[in-house]
Amino acid sequence: MHWLAEEDEAAPPQAHDGRDTPVQVPLADIRADLLGTQRRLAAEHGGFTRYRVLRRRFTLVADADANNQMFVRKAGNYRRGPQYDDLALVIGRGLICSEGDAWQRQRRIAQPAFGKATLARVVQNTGTLTTQLLADWEQAARRGEPVDVLDDMQHLAMRVIGMALFSRDLENDLQAGLADTAGADPRGARGANCFTETVRSGVQVVALRNFSPVPLPLWVPTRLHRRFRRGLAAVDRFVYARIDERLADPGGYDDMLADLVRSYGDQAAAADTRRELRDQVVTLFFAGFETTAVALAWTWLLLGQHQAAEDRFHQELVAVLDGRAPAAEDLKALGYTGQVVQESMRMYSPVYTLTRQVVADDEIAGHQVRGGDNVVIPIHALHHMPEYWDSPGSFCPERFAPGALTEQQRAAYLPFSFGQRRCLGAGFATAEMMTVLAVAGQRVRLRPASAEPVTIIPAVTQRPAGGLPMLVEVRS
């Protein structure tokens, strides 16, 4: 089911409270400025309103107490919304898109893959790969040329998650599978591979379906659909080959995929389990590639725009690391760096909206909802509501200092979701981001290449439109 699909007119009307008449929101407003529209609706209606786009009704809920209800106290009554069906076209029915018993079982199976040993390897590999990227950045600094920070963070995150999942550096891998992929980046080893290409084309597919009243089936042979299906077929070939390697030699690998295969035990070789493993792997790759890369790009922009915060960040790196790369045990001492990451994800949370579908009639935020209602939780709006954040448009990492957050702020802060559905990879992503910042921040600083405001595209993630060009300055 699509979020702008036609509403079932056969369903009889049922009374809510006094706000039963939905606000009509033009589709043009959603397409032109989805985030601004959500912020306006939240501000004008006290964090709760029903609205209608074309023939589809939604209930917008931007309320910290409501988050506690939907994600903690009554989580079973608020299931993932049908909007996740579109995302499942890209990443399958892994942890992000599964629900109920299937999700609980998958999470239990995946948990061992995120242990301390994995995080230690992630920090070490991230430090090594970031150091390699810095050589390119320092050359660009000498030439006075900007770098595309979004593209570079995507490339770096792709390599990090490739090492974590498969013990393989995807830098030069998988090119043959995309030799005929329309739209592939022609720059050789720095171009697309089957994973990055599938994520990029998949993001476009999902975005088009989100904003189309009648989304086209994937079998319709548009240029984008053909490109996406080719990339997806290459992903499947690669992932199934890696699964079969670990099935043939269960003790021969020490990575997240091997942990997953071992967690499934004797069932790992079954056809349905292999498909589930495939979905888990693609889900983990997406979460570890797209969202982390976008979060890092926004963080570099914010540091480049706020010198006082950048100076304090640099001072901490000198005091804690004194020129060396961090190990996993160093991250706790990098308190301000962690606050920078948290504040960046408040201002520009890569995942900017969550949806839930009400199972049974309930009262939420003082208003009645009924079974079947589609609830929209606008993370971007919540993160900018003055009811929860002083000067919400200001970059202030200190608001995340130890003990500074109130309980309401904790419930209003959703970059990794909340409650039992909190992202299992939150520790992985945070460790990776802090390591990138710590290694690169000791050698360079980045400045926006243009004074023009950066335009935001809310596709699957909240990302800078047209990349993020920045100028590199080598630190002495």
pLDDT tens column, 39-69: 999 999 999 999 988 878 899 999 999 999 9
pLDDT above 90 for 230: no
Average pLDDT, the chain: 87
Cβ distance 41 to 24 under 8 Å? no
Instruction: Identify the residue with better confidence: 197 or 127.
Output: 127
Which H/E stretch holds residue 309? helix 307-320
Q: How far apart are CA 65 and CA 343, in angstroms?
A: 21
Residue 386: CB atoms within 10 Å: 10
Residues whose CB is less than 8 angstroms from the CB of residue 372 and which lie 6 or more positions away in sequence, other chains included: 11, 357, 358
Token code pair at residue 63: 């309320």
Examine the pLDDT at 124 and tell me if it is beyond 60: yes
How high is the pLDDT of residue 20? 65
**pLDDT (0 to 100) of residue 7:** 42
pLDDT at 181: 41
Per-residue pLDDT at 175: 46
- pLDDT single digits (tens) 125-175: 999 999 999 999 999 999 999 999 999 999 999 999 999 999 988 876 644
Q: pLDDT for 71-83, tens place per residue?
A: 999 999 999 877 7
Least confident of 26-35, 174-183, 379-388, 435-444: 174-183
What is the Cα–Cα distance from 61 to 45, expressed in whole angstroms?
10
Torsion 339-340-345-350 (CA) sign: negative
Distance (Å, whole) CA 160 – CA 289 = 8
Q: What pLDDT is stored for residue 220 in this prediction?
A: 82
- The rounded Cα 385 to chain-centroid distance in angstroms is 21
Which candidate, 421, 434, 471, places its Cα nearest to that of 451? 471
**What is the predicted pLDDT for the residue at 145?**
97
- The pLDDT assigned to 210 comes to 67
From CA 79, how far away is CA 83, in angstroms rounded?
11
Region of 92 (left: φ > 0; alpha: ψ -120 to 50; beta: rest) is left
pLDDT at 185: 41
What is the tens place of the pLDDT at every residue in 252-274?
Answer: 899 999 999 999 888 888 888 89
Bridge-based pairing of strands 147-148 and 78-80 is unpaired
Among 1.10.3720.10, 1.10.150.240, 1.20.1260.10, 1.10.630.10, name the CATH number for the domain at 23-474.
Answer: 1.10.630.10
pTM of the model: 0.89
Sort strands 56-61 and 374-377 into parallel, antiparallel or unpaired: parallel
Helix axes 426-441, 116-143, angle to 10 degrees: 40
| The token pair that represents 390 in the structure block | 């002083």
The arithmetic mean of pLDDT across residues 432-447, rounded, is: 98
At 53 the pLDDT is: 86
User: In the predicted model, what is the mean pLDDT of residues 336-362?
Assistant: 95
Closest CA to 243 of 198, 266, 275: 275
Q: Are 114 and 428 in contact (CB under 8 A)?
A: yes
DSSP state of 81: P
Q: How many angstroms separate the CA atoms of 45 and 38, rounded?
A: 11
SS (H, E, C) 405-430: CCHHHHHHCCECECHHHCCCCHHHHH
**Is the per-residue pLDDT at 15 higher than 60?**
no
Q: Please say if the pLDDT value at position 117 is more than 50.
A: yes
pLDDT of residue 304 exceeding 50, the answer is: yes
Task: State CA 142 to chain mean position distance.
Answer: 33
CB 395 within 8 A of CB 302: yes
Residue 113, pLDDT above cutoff 50: yes
